[in-house]
Chain A
Amino acid sequence: MQEDAGGAVRDTDGAFIDVTDLRKTFSVRRRSGLLRRTSTEVHAVDGISFTLRRGEMTGFIGPNGAGKSTTIKMLTGILSPSGGRLRVAGVDPARDRTRLVRRIGVVFGQRTTLWWDLPLRDSYGLVRRMYRIPRARYEENLARCVELLELGGLLDVPVRQLSLGQRMRGDITAALLHDPDVLYLDEPTIGLDVVSKARVREFLLHLNAERGTTVLLTTHDLSDIEHLCERVVVIDHGRLMYDGALAGLHEVGRGERTLVVDLERELPPIEGIAGARTVRTEGPRQWLTFPATASAAPLVSRIAADYPLVDLSLREPAIEDVIARMYAA
């Protein structure tokens, strides 16, 4: 049990975020005649339960419209749940939003918290006032983010002139100036190039390791999760599909990796290797799939021994395919 500066008890059972049977129902009105409208209930979040420990970095994934953003909005307190129980740091977000707000940071990848017409530095100054961050701590946090996210030359540039990757790094900095205990990231790498993505990921790993910040990350990019999270929570149609290690997700979803091999010449499809099957051939190139839970090493050595191998590459399964297969199962 820990106490923060305000004297409030943080967490008693190690669960920093505790979600039990969370529900959110929207009523959507549709036109059904010339003037008549019918109202239908949409269960955006339909009974989700999970807990996050302090300092955990968790991936929160699911297809579009699965209810990820709705859940995050409830976790931040800007939407109130229609049912279920929700606690973040022992606090009900919807009821105690103002108390919780200083302890959480949010980055919405498709929105910005920065002021379009103002230089980054001015936006940060406003954030400092808003969150009442003491000057010394503010300077320290800003300096750290500027260094790690390489924002040095950008502080005096108006936000409208920043590239998407620069703006995203600027947004992440804005969300961290007040030292939040938990950081919600909603698609933080959407639209970023490989270099920017790598920089953001590296920074998040550093943040989690150094400051113990609890991170909940939604993304469509499975490689984000692979680099960052030991645990994934998968939701779809507002329901929990999976909660556990990433490797286990492949097991449940029977995720398959693909080995692409280039042979010296065109040959009949590679056969007789246990656990793998050839799904496509195109000239000297062949595609073999095998379970994502298996190691590629024995497969590669078998092929190298029996066939004239020139080159090979390995492709990881896409999250959409894994989830699609979970359905089929």
Chain B
Amino acid sequence: MHLLRLNLAVAASGFRRYATYRVATVAGVFTNTVFGFILAYTFIALWYERPQLGGYDQSQALTFVWIGQAMLATAALMGGGFQDEFHERVRNGDVAIDLYRPVDLQLWWFASDLGRAAFQLLGRGLVPMAVGAFAFELTLPSSPTVWLLFLCAVFLAVVVSFALRYLFALCGFWLLDAAGLGALSTLMSVFFSGMLLPLTVFPGAFGEVVLWLPWAATLQVPADVLLGESGGGGLAGLGFQLAWAVVLLVAGRLLQAAATSKVVVQGG
């Protein structure tokens, strides 16, 4: 009960911290929308040449674009969020403060990242999606059940994204300056989440493999759940996400134990 209240408070603070920067949010919405239009016209050109590419019709492909824009900040597909902050705290030694607190490091950052994601979904997710739906003919489900499943998939996408970024961030304890690793993490995320192109369009063995990587859980799966392309009425997708979430969070715990036991607090 105490733990729940603490983590709700942490999540609320994460929400408020992002809500403080209104101009940044407006700028973000604008960027997402512009980026959405560019991708949308690229996809229109692609699907005009190759209808049914990746198993989607053109309207589904456009829906995929705008889901991607809504998820970009929410699931921190292009990095950022707690990851930069955590890197910085490890690099300059402020992590010492986090370590002497009576809280679990992973749970703390998880709660604060969920708070951030909740704000980004409302602040930077809804508007680009609405603009996309207004400007293009999107394939959106009418069933509230599908929307509910989609919300679950978005939540799990945030969890998997957090768990992945936490693993990358923890490497900072060994590398001391993990900026390069952060860039790698972003690159992997942008490509393997399906943000550049839906993962289903890739042919052959590569196309098979990318669908099983954890990044698929951060955009490809939620999009398929909303588009009705995920098996078992969407439950297969959610199961896939849940499995990766558990595996990655446990890996994060193990790596965290190793990192903090050999911690060298830098500076001061």
Question: Is A76's CB under 8 angstroms from B10's CB?
Answer: no
Contacts of A110 in B (CB 8 A): 268
Question: Which of A101, A113, A129 has the largest count of B CB atoms less than 10 A from its CB?
Answer: A129
Interface residues of A, count at CB 8 A: 30
| A108-B96, A129-B9 known; A101-B17 Cβ under 8 A | no
Query: Which of B63-71, B98-106, B126-134 sits within the interface?
Result: B98-106
With A118-B13, A129-B9 known as contacts, the answer to whether A101 contacts B101 (CB < 8 A) is yes
A122 close to B (CB within 8 Å): yes
- Determine how close the nearest CB of chain A comes to the CB of B83; give it in whole angstroms: 16
> What is the CA–CA distance of A264 and B96 in the complex, to the nearest angstrom?
57
Q: How far is the CA of A301 from the CA of B47 in the complex (A)?
A: 100
Q: A8: CB under 8 A from chain B?
A: no
Query: Within 8 Å of chain A (Cβ to Cβ): is B242?
Result: no
Which B2-21 residues have C-beta < 8 A from chain A?
2, 5-6, 9-10, 13, 16-17, 20-21
A125 contacts across to B, CB distance below 8 A: 9
A186 to B263, CA, bound (A): 20
B265 sits at the interface (CB 8 A): yes
Q: Shortest Cβ distance from B118 into chain A, in angstroms?
A: 16
Contacts of A129 in B (CB 8 A): 2, 5-6, 9-10
> How many angstroms from the CA of A77 to the CA of B102 in the assembled complex?
12
Please tell me if B93 contacts chain A, counting CB pairs below 8 Å: yes
Q: Is the CB of A126 within 8 A of B20?
A: no
B93 touching A130 by the CB < 8 A rule?
no
- B213 CB → nearest A CB, Å: 34
Cross-chain contact B268 with A186 (CB below 8 angstroms): yes
Select one of A97, A98, A108, A117 contacting B268, CB under 8 A: A108
Q: What B residues does A117 contact at CB under 8 A?
A: 16-17, 20-21
Taken together as a complex, chains A and B put the C-alpha atoms of A15 and B260 apart, in Å, by 29
A-B contact pairs, 24 of them (CB 8 A): A73-B265, A76-B100, A78-B99, A78-B100, A79-B263, A97-B100, A101-B102, A102-B102, A106-B97, A106-B100, A108-B96, A111-B97, A111-B268, A112-B97, A117-B21, A118-B17, A122-B16, A126-B9, A126-B13, A129-B6, A130-B6, A130-B102, A131-B102, A132-B2
Query: Which A residues lie at the B interface, using CB under 8 A?
Result: 26, 69, 73, 76-79, 97-98, 101-102, 104, 106, 108, 110-113, 115, 117-118, 122, 125-126, 129-132, 158, 186
The 6 closest A-B pairs by CB, nearest first: A117-B17, A129-B6, A101-B102, A129-B9, A78-B99, A76-B100
